[in-house]
Structure formats: C-alpha cells, structure tokens
A and B are shown apart, each in its own frame.
Chain A
Amino acid sequence: MATAALDPAARQAALLEFLLRIGDNTLILGHRVSEWCGHSPALEEDIALANTALDLIGQTQLWLGLAGEVEGKGRSADDLAYLRDGYEFRNILLVERPNGDFGKTLMRQFLFDAWHYLLLKALKGSSDTRIAEIAEKAFKEVSYHLDRSRDLVIRLGDGTAESHRRMQEALDELWPFTGEMFMSDALDAELVEAGIVPAPESLKAGWDEIVAETLAEGTLKKPADGYMHKGGRRGVHTEHLGFILSEMQFLQRAYPGATW
C-alpha cells in the first residue's frame, strides 16, 4: 500500500473515480426524484421532493465541479453531467431504479439517505480538505433528507394495510440493490489508505442499525441478505440509466452549448 500511495497519477485517477461515483449518485438520484415534480400525492410532498432533488443537484455541482478540477482537462460539472455516455457513469444501481409509487420512491430515498448520511459524516474528516468542505455542507442537507424519508417509511410502513403492503414490496424489491453501497475495490483501498475516504464496508454497521431501527418502528420485515446486484460503480448499468440520460442530456446533445 505504501508504494501505491506514493504514485501521484494513481492517486489522482482514484480520486477522480471517487468523485464521479459520489457525484453521479447525487446526480442520478436528484434527476429521478425531480421526476415527481408536479405529480406527488400532495402539494407539501411535491415541494419536499423537489427540494430534496434540488439539494442533490446542488451537491452534484460541487462534486462534479471538483471532479473536473482533479481531472485537469477543462471539463466542467455540466460537461460531465451532460456529455458522458452511460458506461462512463459511476452511480450505484439503486439510484437509477424507477420511481414506482410514492412509497417506493421514499423507500429508495431512505435506504440511500441512511448510507449517504454516514458517508458524508465520515468524509467531513477527509484528509483532502476540498472533499471535507463539500461533505460538511452536504451533511447538513442530508440530515434533513434522512429525517424526512425515515419518518415517512415508518408512517407508511405502520400505516394502512395497503400502505404497509406497498412498503414491504418496495423494500423487498430494492434490498438486493443495497449491497453495492458497501462493496470496495482497489481504487477505494488507495484512497482509504490515504485517509481521503472511509472504507465502504466500515459504514455497514451504522447503516444496519439505522435501517433495523426504522424498519422495526415501521413494522416492516428486513429481507434476508441474498444476491446483491452490482456494476454501477464500474460503469455497468441496468437499462434504466439510458432512459434517464436520454431525457437529462437531450438538450445539450441536440443543441450543444445551449444556455439560458
């Protein structure tokens, strides 16, 4: 490890990869959540979802902005968001899952928020001050996201027979996509060694605790850990990502450089 840590090119490549992974997570989830705008079951929920999406897109600008800086090829956050193809995206598969109903959207949000919250909390202590600063900012926003998604998972889980059934189904469907959050590879190891990021697996115990507590309160049954889907972190995505990108990137692809 010590020799790897001395190679600046490898360090830079690993750092760029990490920034794309975290920035693409917030970008794709932010886009997904924004699909609810104007369609939510109640006005307050519509506004809350739009605000959550806005926070995530704002965080994306910071993460991908830094990614462009680290890459050093003059690419902006917008270039990275709008002009990369699917195989270049590094988000986990969970965030590209279709919204489904309101309950499924909230369940996905909760499973992500609990992890995002712990990740940012750890990143506040990153040895890379640029990362620590963004994490400090984002952590405050994500604390509110977690408060809200957890509250709604409990309310809907411990709600009517219908809402309970839908939440359990959402949980069962999304569970096999949660394992990817805690998987690590050689790039992670490089950055963990340098104190830049926490080891992905180190967040698992805290996440298990938040999830267990919330599911118990929401009278939901935690699914058994079985096969976990993976691939997003190295650019291998489900078919859903392509549809997201075709909508998100359409304008810049059809009218390159368009501004408003």
Chain B
Amino acid sequence: MDPALRPSVDEVWHWLSEVPDPEIPVISLTDLGIIRDVEWRDDTLVVTVTPTYSGCPATTVINLDIEAALAGKGLAKVKLERRLSPAWTTDWISAEGREKLRDYGIAPPIDGTAADGVLMKRIDRLSGRSNLTIACPRCGSANTEKISQFGSTPCKASYRCTDCLEPFDYFKCI
C-alpha cells in the first residue's frame, strides 16, 4: 500500500473499536482489551491479539472478524500475531466495557479477585459467603450467591440474586 494512503494506527484502533466480540456483542474487541498492538511493518498492518482463555472457541472467529473488518476498510495485507505474555487479564476490560456488560445483564469482573489456589475457609464456603460481593446487574442488590463457577462460556460464572431472584452471569476475574 502506498505509504501516503495508509490509514494511521489511531484510525485502525478506532475501526477495531467497532468490531464486536462474537460471544458478547455489546462490547468491542478493544473494550475487551485483547488487541495489544497495531503497527505498520513495511506495507503490512500487524495486529497483535492475545487470547482470553487458551481454549476459547471465539478466538478463531475474532481473528476472522478482525481480518474482515480491515478488509472492509480496504486493507488487503493484514497479519495477525498472537501474544501470550503478559497473559490476558480481565483488568484490561475498559471502564466503558464494564458498563456495557452490566447493561447487558452480565456483572462485570471485580479486579484482583481471581482464583489463586488458596483454599477458602470451610464455613465461608458452606454458607456461600466470601469476601467477594457481586452486585446483581438487574436490581443492584448485593445479596447474590454463586450457582456455579462456570457459566455459559469459560469466562463467566453463574450467579443468582436472592432479592429479585434473577439468575445472571458474572464475568469472572482471570
């Protein structure tokens, strides 16, 4: 591509901010924080992407969506590179993305609460009590309980609100 006609990196970032996540279409790939870098290498645009979960089936779809979106903007030579380290963390989900998740009915992650392999005290576990309070995205109540550590996708856990009784997904920290 003629260097003079190349879109700026900022413009490409903007285009990518309009590509929805295939699983949770209310947030974009940039909201999710999985686009780590965009750069021109000679006449090739290189987009560096980090996977959310190593087995996430959406990864292939995401890569296709990025290529399709950029092809739609007239970029023919696009190269996608995978970056594993630093590993993706939910801390990278943007503030805007968190609000969009909540509006969509998914409780956003609470930073710094990822599983660490430390055994939670038994009484807390039996009573469903922990130091982690997940607010119901529907009514805002803090009276919620975990149903299962895994929800409809690997990145979510299942919760239930004990006030409005609505089950909901929690985007768990990783």
Contact = CB atoms under 8 A, between A and B. Distances in A.
Given A51-B150, A150-B119, A136 B85 contact: yes
Given A54-B154, A58-B56, A140-B174, A213 B116 contact: no
A213 B158 CA distance: 27
Interface in A213-253: 213-214, 217
A129 B55 CA distance: 21
Main secondary structure of the interface of A (DSSP, over half): helix
Interface in A83-122: 117, 121
Contacts of B114: 140, 143
A136 B54 contact: no
B84 interface: yes
Interface of chain B, main secondary structure: loop
A54 B57 contact: yes
A134 interface: yes
Interface stretch (A42-50, A186-194, A196-204): A42-50
B148 A217 contact: no
Nearest to A150: B119
Contacts of A121: 117
Interface in A126-158: 129, 132-134, 136-138, 140-141, 143-144, 146-148, 150-151, 154
Given A54-B57, A141-B54, A44 B122 contact: no
Nearest to A62: B54
B164 interface: no
Given A147-B117, A154-B122, A133 B84 contact: yes
Interface of B: 51, 53-57, 84-89, 114-117, 119-120, 122, 125, 147-154, 158, 172, 174
27 contacts: A47-B148, A51-B154, A54-B56, A55-B54, A58-B53, A58-B54, A59-B55, A62-B84, A133-B84, A133-B87, A134-B84, A136-B84, A136-B85, A136-B87, A137-B51, A137-B54, A140-B114, A140-B115, A141-B53, A141-B154, A141-B174, A143-B114, A143-B116, A146-B117, A148-B149, A148-B150, A150-B119
